[in-house]
Chain A
Amino acid sequence: MSAKQKSESAARVVPADGLDALIRALARAGYTTIGPRVEDGAVTYRPVGSAADLPLDMVDEQGGGTYRLRASKGAGYFAHVVGPHSWKRYLYPPRQLMWRASRARSGFAVEAPEPAADKLAFIGVRACELRAMEIQDRVFDNGQFTDPGYRARRAAALVVAVNCGRAGDTCFCVSAGGGPRVEDGYDILLTEFPGKDHTFLVQAGSARGARVVKALRGGRDAGEADLRAAQRRTDAAAKAMGRELAGDAPQVLRENLEHPHWQRVAERCLNCANCTMVCPTCFCSTVEDVTALDGSHAERWRTWDSCFTTDFSYIHGGAIRRGGAARYRQWITHKLASWHEQFGTSGCTGCGRCITWCPVGIDITEEVRALAARGGRK
């Protein structure tokens, strides 16, 4: 039997408390387990010690500019979809020390921290989020340059993915090509079957995942029927998807760079940068140089940045993208069009975060449609 088949054969159906056993097993194996938790009324990704920390029987109601959690009896642990956090904050932290310099005889010496790769286990990674990781993998290893810190963190992270059984109100992963079914790239994959007979189908996708799955006690080996039942869950989620990204979005954007509609979006856009902060693929950063008061040490920090700030495009004489219209155009054309030229993939997974967390509810799918309808393809 090949290694691949062997790991695939590690598929089990376990009762709901198997989730807790799984989290504890990962912790025993030396992983810091990170998963969904309710914090300030939203699902965020934070350290979790047991299944009790997870948002059991909670679903989210999302819309353009709105997010609300409500209890839903019997919904299960993963009935919610994505919230304001994404795994990006662990693989590509919002603030990172790049290097330190200290004054030395007649100059300075530079010292870069070793890329620390804490063993993190991500619990509850959605298909769109796996897709986002694959997209960022290309960003931080672009064929010419590699970010060693990102690479180390990514290699160390163990992914416990989860198939979505429900579509969020702002999701459009089907048309964006991001989900809802997890196909690849996981160590362990969960499919939840909530209800009276609450169980999980647990599948291993790697050798290290298989070791954990095999050690789970209780339950039974999964069969064909279980895999088909899992497929039905994601099929249902796919069918329930309410939004759709136009398939010709890259062309529509490239051909309408000077469209008057940009000005109309700019009238609504607050330039708050929320969309870029919540987006799991946005990667822009800036640097901060800090110095000790006595000048003995200097540090360079890299922090998340957004193309919605005016400073972002500043060059001597002024910013290039002075107006809000130019900045919104940058964001959406980068996501949906330029990304293809840069990385051979779209920069959007269809997770819907930018729609939900936009204070005025600007909807990326709607804007593409408006550009296509108004200007047409010139």
Chain B
Amino acid sequence: MPATAATAATALPADPMVPVPYRITRVARELSDTFTVDLVPARGKAPFRFAPGQFNMLYVYGVGEVPISISGDPADGARVRHTIRAVGTVTDALRRLKKGAMVGLRGPFGTPWPLDLTEGCDVLIIGGGVGLAPLRPAIYEVLNNRDRYGKVCLFYGARTPDDILFRGELEKWRGRFDMFVDVTVDRATGRWAGPVGVVTQLIRRGGFDAYHACALVCGPEVMMRFAVPTLNEIGVANDRIFVSMERNMKCAVGFCGHCQFGGAFVCKDGPVFRYDTISKLFNVREL
């Protein structure tokens, strides 16, 4: 009907800066400083749709708001899952929240891991520390559609054996015949018998076809700085490497300017970038 179309066109869009209340239905401790929360809308049951690699802005009443990647299964629209490392004001406040508490949520925002582009390729998933959280939805998606991909390799690095995130799942994935999983630590403690050293060492050992591989990389910027040249050396070109960037974010919608990285807004042009599009900027100091 023309009348409704006109009304719809002139109606003000919902303010993308206003959070929607969500309720915590589950809190799980992952590591000494890292935990996972499940959220459902406080009102209504509309399924939450997102693509692996996207993030939400989570608001703690009266404290503040921070960007946190979605760490759950994209096939599960019933709950929104986040895995968070408590490092400061807002993330500490998030850690103190219990089941039943409310948070504000805006999202999902940002560019996803390019899982349609990687179809048919060998998929290298390279994570460091809590950087495994934004990669987990990609792992789920790949495993949910396993026949669409070639070899699937997960290379993960943590500081110490006690910092290995999603340990149970890593074991489970390692047990699969159709996935290769390798984990390293910077510093061995306790009974760790696995590799020690940076995650880039693992990449060199993986049995995959580098010329037909795509790499998804997420972790501290220094780790990515080392991972990229290693990938290049073994034959993975820059246009087949995808990295997730981290920058200060106050709005997630391109208005606040805080997340700028050269000509890109990490919040809306990223956080996932094809590496060749940012390679010139990536090694410029303090950009």
| Chain A residues close to B by CB (< 8 Å) | 98-99, 101, 103, 106-110, 112, 115, 139-140, 142, 144-149, 151-152, 257-258, 283-287, 289, 291, 295, 298, 300, 302, 305, 307, 312-316, 320-323, 325-326, 329-330, 333-334, 337-338, 340-342
> Known contacts A106-B102, A110-B21, A305-B256; is A322 also within 8 Å of B15 by CB?
no
Q: How far is the CA of A112 from the CA of B18 in the complex (A)?
A: 7
- In the bound complex, CA of A145 to CA of B250 (Å): 15
**CB-defined contacts of B150 to chain A, threshold 8 Å:** none
Given contacts A109-B21, A284-B256, A316-B87, contact A142 B15 (CB under 8 A): no
CB distance from A180 to the nearest CB of B (A): 28
Contact call B247/A315, Cβ cutoff below 8 A: yes
Chain A residues near B247 (CB-CB < 8 A): 313, 315, 320
CB <8 Å contact, B284 and A258 = yes
CB pair B100–A106 under 8 Å, yes or no, is yes
Q: Is B20 an interface residue (CB 8 A)?
A: yes
A284–B253 touching, CB < 8 Å: no
Q: When the two chains form their complex, are residues B21 and A108 in contact, meaning their CB atoms are under 8 A apart?
A: yes
Give the CA-CA distance A326 to B61 in the complex, in Å: 34
- Chain B, residues 9-27, CB within 8 Å of chain A (1/0): the string is 0001101111111010000
Residue in chain A with minimal CB distance to B257: A284
Known A-B contacts A285-B256, A334-B260; A315 and B286 likewise in contact (beta carbons under 8 Å):
no
Task: Please name all residues of chain B whose beta carbon is closer than 8 Å to the beta carbon of A112 when the two chains form the complex.
Answer: 15, 18
Complex interface: chain B residues within 8 A of A342 (CB): 263, 265
* Contacting residue for A326 out of B17, B63, B287, CB 8 A: B287
For the complex formed, measure the closest distance between the CB of A183 and the CB atoms of chain B, giving whole angstroms: 27
What's the least CB distance linking B251 to chain A, in Å?
Answer: 7
- Give the residue of B62, B248, B262 whose beta carbon is less than 8 angstroms from that of A312: B248
Q: Does B174 contact A (CB under 8 A)?
A: no
A287–B250 contact, CB under 8 A?
Answer: yes
CB–CB A338/B250 < 8 A: no
When distances are taken between beta carbons in the complex, the residues of chain A under 8 Å from B250 are 285-287, 305
A108 close to B18 (CB less than 8 A): no
Q: Let me know if A101 and B260 touch, CB within 8 A.
A: no
Across the interface, name the chain A residue whose C-beta is closest to B13: A146
| A-B CB contact pairs (8 Å), 15 listed | A101-B61, A110-B21, A110-B104, A142-B255, A145-B253, A145-B255, A146-B16, A151-B12, A152-B12, A257-B284, A258-B284, A285-B256, A302-B256, A312-B248, A326-B286
The closest CB in chain A to the CB of B66 belongs to A316
Contacts of A284 in B (CB 8 A): 256-258
Residues on A with beta carbons closer than 8 Å to the beta carbon of B62: 101, 289, 291, 295, 298
Contact A107 B256 (CB under 8 A): no
Contacts of A139 in B (CB 8 A): 254-255
Interface of chain B residues 231 through 287 with chain A (CB within 8 A): 246-248, 250-251, 253-258, 260, 262-265, 268, 281, 284-287
> What secondary structure prevails in chain B residues at the interface with A?
loop
Asked if A338 contacts B12 (CB within 8 A), the reply is no
Q: Does B64 interact with chain A (Cβ within 8 Å)?
A: yes
Alpha-carbon distance A338/B23, docked complex (angstroms): 39
A145 and B16 contacting across the interface, CB-CB below 8 Å:
yes
Flag if B254 contacts A144 (CB, 8 Å). yes
B23 in contact with A312 (CB, 8 Å): no
The answer on a CB contact under 8 Å between A107 and B23 is yes
User: Closest chain A residue to B247 by CB distance?
Assistant: A315
Contact status B64-A289, CB under 8 Å: yes
CB < 8 Å: which of B13, B65, B262, B285 contacts A148? B13
How many contacts between A and B, using CB within 8 angstroms?
A: 136
Nearest A-chain residue to B87, judged by Cβ: A316
For A295, the closest partner residue in chain B by CB is B62
With A142-B255, A286-B250 already in contact, 8 other A-B pairs whose C-beta atoms are closer than 8 Å: A106-B102, A148-B12, A283-B257, A289-B62, A298-B62, A312-B258, A313-B258, A342-B263
**Pick from B18, B260, B264: contact of A99, CB under 8 Å:** B18
Contacts of A313 in B (CB 8 A): 247-248, 258
Residues from chain A with a CB closer than 8 A to the CB of B23 are: 107
Question: Would you call A144 and B263 a contact (CB within 8 A)?
Answer: no
B42 part of interface (Cβ distance < 8 Å): yes
B88 at the interface (CB under 8 A from A): yes
Asked if B101 is an interface residue, CB under 8 A from chain A, the answer is yes
Q: What B residues does A302 contact at CB under 8 A?
A: 17, 256
Residues in A neighbouring B21, C-beta threshold 8 A: 107-110
The smallest beta-carbon distance between B95 and chain A, in angstroms, is 14
How far apart are B234's CB and chain A's nearest CB, in angstroms?
28
Given contacts A257-B287, A258-B284, A316-B87, contact A338 B254 (CB under 8 A): no
Q: In the assembled complex, which residues on chain B have CB atoms less than 8 Å from the CB atom of A140?
A: 255
Chain B residues closer than 8 Å to A101, beta-carbon distance: 61-62, 104
Instruction: Find residues 104-122 in chain B having any chain A CB closer than 8 Å to their own CB.
Output: 104
Which chain A residues border B256 with CB–CB below 8 Å? 284-287, 302, 305
CB pair B100–A337 under 8 Å, yes or no, is: no
